Structure 1
């Protein structure tokens, strides 16, 4: 559905940045340490290595990525008029990560609005959607979106299928309206959520239901609980019709017109499933080097498409992903 005929929506990704911890954790080392068969991580998950923090905070990583994104956009930090923290793993409960990133950037006395959008692994996508509407309402002119996630501090090392899957990273984007004559825009955008599957990917602790000081709360409540088989069932049932509805929003564009498909990087299995819908040579895969970085995965893959893959101005791309909830997202855009 065209959502009221709002597309194409003027929107420009003006700058990109990323930060990855220096500490490279090889899958071969994890296999030795946790008594896994040699080659298990590559065979099962397609992951050779990932980055885990030593003493970095999420706000520090996010600020480092943000500085690069602002420079890449040809701007100064003082030019930013809205900061959106779009991370799936909060640094702390209160305040949200927006003020923490703002302070880390040296803007703690600036008064620049700094807010948080949390949609788990899809936080960056939802922040893009929010920012596009803010820009076209003329509420703001230059918006900084920051996704910074640290999963390594809360991994259950009794479950190799979980702890080997995740990495730490941050990525950021500066978004604006395009200049006159520029073609940058969103051709289609869609989010769908199927909450009946919320329990299939969740961290039950940390909130009011299982508060850290609750008498019935256990350490296991603070680990990620995933049921991959059930998540795949939901994907098999809903993803085909989701993609069909997305492309109906831009009937004059096909996947042949797009240079890259830029997905969240949840697992090799999901990326392989995507290759049944989209040409594999268009799929941006970074999971082998960075693993699943939660909300930072999608902007990390976008960074790869632009900075390494050479996505050029005026070329089209597709953002796509699945996340806890269970939610699906998709966007067709001109870079």
Structure 2
């Protein structure tokens, strides 16, 4: 995806970053005791030490607004100039209406369109690629927020989901830039529908609607085959990352920062090994914040700014894969 060429070409820059994680810390010990697991079992297999869960009075819109507010404040742009809000989430406030219009309203984005994007763990990668294109064509800022409250979709009796998932939100405000080579310089999106049922919430959609007498377990997340999810996620993240790098004309050694979806440490390490990425290039929040699906990449990008020195012209690789199966990778020049 090339951005150079026309006399009127513009680039896309990150004007502001924001993140939010609920205050409630849930340790491994709490979950291990609940599931009858020995101490240390979760960290050995996932790299996760703790995670954040929302309070009972918090909805998805609340944590999305907290992250978005931070990004807008850091950017210092007039809120009336933001043209679009993309909200990547699998846990909206309601099945209907979408949550994005409410979030835009409460953030004071008086002239912005707003839409939810249900891309599961890859939702941010999809939203970022679309936002970049909108900024280039419409020449207005776009706010991308990804957030999830997965603690309310966890099946506490299913080990595969109970140990992994968390709540968080991350936000990225994109704006037009005079630097034509800034923004998305490589993008590869993918889907693999033969893995459609590997991760799902069985009830609540048109295939299996809510009904009287429905077992509550049917409304919670289920991972039917953890080994298959691992293998397919690693392959999808690796393949799309290589393709995006090729589009950008870069190799993995040219990447300053790699921020993968924070699925778990084993998946991150497996993809890192296949890509030949050094440990120094990786930014991860999985030990203390676990897996918040689509939120994990922008959350980690923003959280990482506290320790990393992000500079203009550095290159960041984002990689993700999740339910659907859907995934992708974006190469972004800061």
TM norm structure 1: 0.90
The within-5 A match list for 1:214-253 is 217-226=214-223, 227-235=225-233, 240-251=238-249, 253=250
**What is the alpha-carbon distance in structure 2 between the residues aligned to residue 120 and residue 305 of structure 1?**
22
Kindly tell me: are residues 124 and 243 of structure 1, through their superposed partners in 2, closer, same or farther at Cα, counting changes over 3 Å? closer
Query: 1:298 aligns to what SS in structure 2?
Result: helix
- Residues 133, 152 of structure 1: CA spacing in aligned structure 2 closer, same or farther, 3 A cutoff? same
Q: What is the Cα deviation at residue 183 of structure 1?
A: 4.8
Cα deviation for residue 115 of structure 1 reads 1.3
2:83 aligned partner: 81
- Aligned-pair CA distance for 1:236: 5.7
Report the Cα distance in structure 2 between the residues aligned to 1:240 and 1:61, rounded to whole angstroms.
Answer: 31
Is 1:71 aligned to residue 54 of structure 2?
Answer: no
Aligned to 1:194, which of 179, 192, 195? 192
What do residues 22-54 of structure 1 show as CA deviations (whole Å, max 9, x unaligned)? 111111232234432111111121111111011
Q: Which residue of 1 aligns with 2:92?
A: 90
Q: Could you report, residue by residue, the CA deviation over 1:211-247 in whole angstroms, capped at 9, with x for unpaired residues?
A: 11267x5323212121221123334655554343222
Conservation of the 8 A alpha-carbon contact between 1:7 and 1:186: no
Query: Is the 8 Å Cα contact of residues 48 and 288 (structure 1) preserved in structure 2?
Result: yes
How many matched pairs? 326
Q: Deviation of residue 182 (structure 1)?
A: 7.0
Q: What CA deviation, in whole Å up to 9, does each residue of 1:247-301 have, x standing for no partner?
A: 22122x2222211101111122211111212222211111111010011101011
Report what 1:279 is aligned to.
278
Q: Confirm or deny: 8 A CA contact 2:204 2:210 kept in the other structure.
A: yes
Aligned CA RMSD, in angstroms, stands at: 2.1
Q: Distance in 1 between matches of 2:4 and 2:39?
A: 50
Between stretches 314-323 and 300-309, larger displacement belongs to 300-309
Question: What is the Cα deviation at residue 142 of structure 1?
Answer: 1.2
8 Å CA contact 1:19–1:64 kept in 2: the answer is yes
Residue 107 (structure 2) aligns with: 105
Alignment correspondent of 1:118: 118
* Other-structure match for 2:160: 161
Deviation (angstroms), 1:116: 1.5
Equivalence for 2:292: 293
Q: Distance in 2 between matches of 1:183 and 1:246?
A: 15
Asked if residue 171 in structure 1 is aligned to residue 170 in structure 2, the reply is: yes
**1:111: how far off?**
4.9
Seen in structure 2, the aligned counterparts of structure 1 residues 264 and 237 have a Cα distance that, compared at 3 Å, is closer
User: Is this contact kept in 1: 2:237–2:329, CA < 8 A?
Assistant: no
CA–CA distance in 2 between the matches of 1:95 and 1:304?
A: 30
Residue-by-residue CA offset, 1:176-228 (whole Å, 9 max, x unaligned): 121x247522210110111111111111211111111267x532321212122
Shift of 1:18: 0.9
CA distance in 2, matches of 1:284, 1:241: 20
Residue of structure 2 equivalent to 1:315: 314
Tell me the alpha carbon deviations over residues 123-152 of structure 1, each in whole angstroms, 9 at most, x when there is no partner: 1111111111111112x5111111121011
SS at the partner of 1:121?
Answer: helix
1:52 aligns with 2:53: yes
8 A contact 1:119–1:126 mirrored in 2:
yes
**Aligned mate of 1:206, from 188, 204, 207:** 204
| Aligned counterpart, 1:20 | 21
Asked whether the 8 Å contact 2:80–2:112 carries over to 1, the reply is: no
Residues 89-144 of structure 1 deviation map (CA, whole Å, 9 limit, x = unaligned):
2221111111121233255xx35311122211111111111111111112x51111
- Return the TM-score normalized by structure 2: 0.90
